[in-house]
Amino acid sequence: METGLQKLITSEEDDDEEMEMDVKEEDSGDDEDGEKHVDASQMMAGVDGEMPTISNNNNRLQQHHQFQEQVGTPGGGGARRCRPLEEKERTKLRERQRRAITARILAGLRRHGNYNLRVRADINDVVAALAREAGWVVLPDGTTFPSKSQGPRLAGVNSAAVTSSSSQIVSPRTPASLKGVTSGYQSPGELNASNTKGVYLPSLSPYVLPSSAQSQGSSIVGDGAGQTESHPLSGGSLDNVGYKQIVDIPLKLQERDFSSTAYIPVYVMLPLGVINMKCELVDPDGLLKQLRVLKSVNVDGVMVDCWWGIVEGHAPQEYNWNGYKRLFQMVRELKLKLQVVMSFHECGGNVGDDVCIPLPHWVAEIGRSNPDIFFTDREGRSNPECLSWGIDKERVLRGRTAVEVYFGCMRSFRVEFDEYFKNGSISMIQVGLGPCGELRYPSCPVKHGWRYPGVGEFQCHDQYLLKSLRKAAEARGHSFWGRGPDNAGSYNSQPNDTGFFSEGGDYDGYYGRFFLNWYSRVLVDHGDRVLSLAKLTFNRTCIAAKLSGLHWWYKTVSHAAELTAGFYNPCNRDGYSPIVTMLKKHEANLSLACTELHMLDQHEDFKEALGDSEGLFWQVLNAAWDVCLPVSSENALACHDRINYNKILDNAKPLTDPDGRHLSSFTYLRLSPLLMERDNFMEFERFVKRMHGEAVVDQVYSK
């Protein structure tokens, strides 16, 4: 064993010079302990003030080695034994392994994250790169402070002072998954050149000082024009400045200016119960007043749900559009646009549902005798929220398949409102593809006891989907795989509590990969079938599909909440690419929620759930933009304050996207008396102007 280790050391000696230095540093402790036992006269050689000579040091080293040989023998008494050779070699091997892992991490950061890291980067380089990505400024000496999107820092610092001495400049925060972003690193020469040539440099200071504070800051630093830019962090020290005086200066947060940016249309979603179960318009006078107020602030249009349970509620192929006719006429007279959602799901029981609109009565009757037309969990509980995708091709709905039922309703709508399509009043049709109108499995039903942040359950246990699963297993040659996972926990389980979703669990085994591939493929095939008929029905009108943002457990390896919903998106696989490819095939827009969910970071359960709503948003957005798919969005939670409006704006119009891409439209959720309150509506009006790229008066507000 000793011979093999020596050969290994000899073969890798040149490649591991830095590692050898680390190992020598570890061994230095042994040397110091050994020196304690050297003759006292040698230890006191420099007491009289004379520096030991090199020869004396060599003699001490020889005596030290001789002493170690003596104490290493059985007759050495109780002295401390020297470190065995095998242990030293194990330390070296561990160091080589650590360096190999570090090299892989650095390679991944460079390849997938656009990190500008040198070949022999160390931990300091990595931490600095991560800090810059988070929007912080890192100076050459290691001084770090927040940039524009972060909290307050010293008010006496401005961008000109920092760029005059710093060798790095950091652009505003860019999402990690945003591709094509160039590095923010510049050399001192480049910085000087950019200062003289007038090239745009992002401001490193997110704060502006009132005139009185600016004069005070100038007097603190020094007198004369030549000294006004000499600030503490630009190369000087804090010794020359009263630190407390600077911190006490009132701060104002400067917002990003969206004037002259791209025009993004803004729509407002109407209340869920604007049409009652008799297909009558509820409170037309009150609604007309609210629509006029929306028009006064240049809102582009409204979004409304056309409920299958209302339109075809009583008998198959008997459609009632009376309430929608009156509503659409009112909207058109105000010269507002319409986005229409073909809602083939029930309303009620989910977060935000304030009315109850079930599926058509005749469908419920069929479901009572054949509950397998609905999605079913492992315990056999059916969910009547929407129809199972297993009956897309099964004639169990009075002689029709589920896809034929959807097609009939969409075709009736197209014929009934033909004039609105011809004159362009209807700008988009969003096709409902699952629960809440979203393309996903109903994996987290509140009515079955699910509570955030449970992983949910797989919904594939109705007889039609199980038949498809068994068929797929037999085609694979493993008929015993024709079943759902039995170790995936329950609705409120956490990933590490299950054998399927835990790190190294069955989700990444042979059976797990087979099952998840089949489960996600059923989702994509369903969207493919319905959207193909929607494209045929609505012809030249834009169609769209909605995806939800199941962000909890996004920072775990399995992404359990996404897996149960049908998104096969673990840490080593992009589960959204097949979906956006399918949407691109039908020239359909992608409607995406969760643009402002950063507010949940303050929720105590959110951190425990290892969620990342922003990371998920940018992953899906980049997947869509990679295939040039237009993306619209809506807020997932009620929004009335400027902080969340600014977050939506930043995501809608990414500042540092190299191609200048942005959202195609935004839908505000939703019209309510709370929105119409004076202060809330003033903030909303300001948000609409900035979405439209118009200038606003008060770009600076008090922190």
What are the catalytic residues? Answer: 438, 634
Q: Which residues contact 486 (CB under 8 A, 6 or more apart)?
A: 378
List the beta bridge partners of residue 589: 544
Among 130, 126, 128, residue whose Cα is nearest residue 104: 126
Q: Which residues contact 344 (CB under 8 A, 6 or more apart)?
A: 308, 386, 387, 406, 409, 432, 433, 437
Q: Answer whether 316's CB lies under 8 Å from 400's CB.
A: yes
Q: Which residues contact 563 (CB under 8 A, 6 or more apart)?
A: 501, 507, 516, 519, 569, 570
Q: Answer whether 506's CB lies under 8 Å from 499's CB.
A: yes
Q: Answer whether 661's CB lies under 8 Å from 653's CB.
A: no
Interatomic CA distance for residues 25 and 91, integer angstroms: 12
Please state whether beta strands 301-307 and 337-343 pair in parallel, antiparallel, or not at all (unpaired): parallel
What is the residue type of 60? R
List the beta bridge partners of residue 631: 590
Q: What are phi and psi of 133, to 5 degrees?
A: -65, -35
Among 424, 435, 407, residue whose Cα is nearest residue 535: 407
Please state whether beta strands 252-254 and 700-702 pair in parallel, antiparallel, or not at all (unpaired): antiparallel
Compute CA 184 distance to the chain's CA centroid, rounded to the nearest angstrom. Answer: 22
Q: Which residues contact 39 (CB under 8 A, 6 or more apart)?
A: 63
List the beta bridge partners of residue 266: 666
Interatomic CA distance for residues 101 and 105, integer angstroms: 6
Task: Enter the tokens of residue 378.
Answer: 């492992």
Please state whether beta strands 301-307 and 266-269 pair in parallel, antiparallel, or not at all (unpaired): parallel
Q: Answer whether 309's CB lies under 8 Å from 354's CB.
A: no
Interatomic CA distance for residues 49 and 214, integer angstroms: 56
- DSSP per position, 163-200: HHH-SB--PSP--TT-TTPPP-B--HHHHHHHHHHT--
- DSSP per position, 445-496: -GGGT--TT--------SHHHHHHHHHHHHHHT-GGG-S--SSS--TT--GG
Burial 114-123 (b: 16+ CB within 10 A, else e): bbebeeebee
Interatomic CA distance for residues 275 and 628, integer angstroms: 36
Interatomic CA distance for residues 309 and 306, integer angstroms: 9
Q: What are phi and psi of 217, to 5 degrees?
A: -65, -40
Interatomic CA distance for residues 701 and 616, integer angstroms: 30
Q: What are phi and psi of 183, to 5 degrees?
A: -70, 150
Please state whether beta strands 136-138 and 337-343 pair in parallel, antiparallel, or not at all (unpaired): unpaired
Neighbouring C-beta atoms of residue 309, cutoff 10 Å: 20
Helix (H, G, I), strand (E, B) or coil at 631: strand
Q: Answer whether 316's CB lies under 8 Å from 283's CB.
A: no
